[in-house]
Amino acid sequence: MSIMLRAFTAGIAVAALATGCKESASDVPTPPPADLRPVTDSVPYLCDLVPEQAWRQVTGLTASVNARWVNGPQADNGLCLADAAGLEAPLGIEWTYNDGERILGVQQRAWDDRGAHPIPKELGRGLAGVAQTAGGNPRPNFVVALFKCGKRKTLISIDFAPVVRGRDAVQDMVEFMRIAERRFGVVHGCTPG
């Protein structure tokens, strides 16, 4: 075979291989559509306050999680982290009867220039915000509320993993806080309001 014929044959083979490797738009898998149903209350709960099914729906996370109260149950405050294998804790919840006014003030100042949204008045005083961190924060969604439960001022803050594309993160946070306040009342024997 002449050099010209071999070069021509090799060129055809390379072209055939190259076109066989091209991905068409139909070959690329598309992710399933986001579940855009509203957040609803259901058992079981993560950290006693957040419905696990709704949290998974909002974040799209499927990894198993292990929720634990740091330092065990406390009489006047608590911190719970939901750990997941291979991830920094994708959910954190903190509550306290102590110093809620000061903590809320610190959070309001910290979020003042970051586009936070006030929560509905029936949930008390507080805010919801999404930290713009380019993926550097495992829990960029943050909501905090200071409200009365029985005769005690109570502060709850919830921060969690990014929401799936297409969801309204602020609305989801408000609904999680609504459920958390109600659940807090059940767990601690007080009436939010």
Rounded to 5°, angle at Cα 81 from 80 and 86: 170
Question: Given this model, what pLDDT does residue 136 score?
Answer: 74
Tell me the percentage of the chain whose pLDDT exceeds 90: 72
Domains in the chain with CATH codes: 45-188 (3.40.1000)
- Tell whether the model's pLDDT for residue 39 goes beyond 90: yes
Lowest mean pLDDT among 6-15, 131-140, 183-192: 6-15
Write down the pTM of the prediction: 0.82
CA distance linking residue 99 with residue 124, whole number of Å: 15
Buried b (16+ CB within 10 A) or exposed e, 50-68: bbbebbebbbbbeeebebe
Identify the CA nearest to 162 among candidates 65, 90, 63, 64.
90
| 52 within 8 A of 90, measured Cβ to Cβ | no
Q: Does residue 128 contact residue 174 with C-beta atoms inside 8 Å?
A: yes
Q: Regarding beta strands 141-149 and 152-160, do their DSSP bridges make them parallel or antiparallel, or are they unpaired?
A: antiparallel
Where does the pLDDT of residue 154 fall: very low under 50, low under 70, confident under 90, or very high at 90 and above? very high
**Position with higher pLDDT, 34 vs 59:** 59
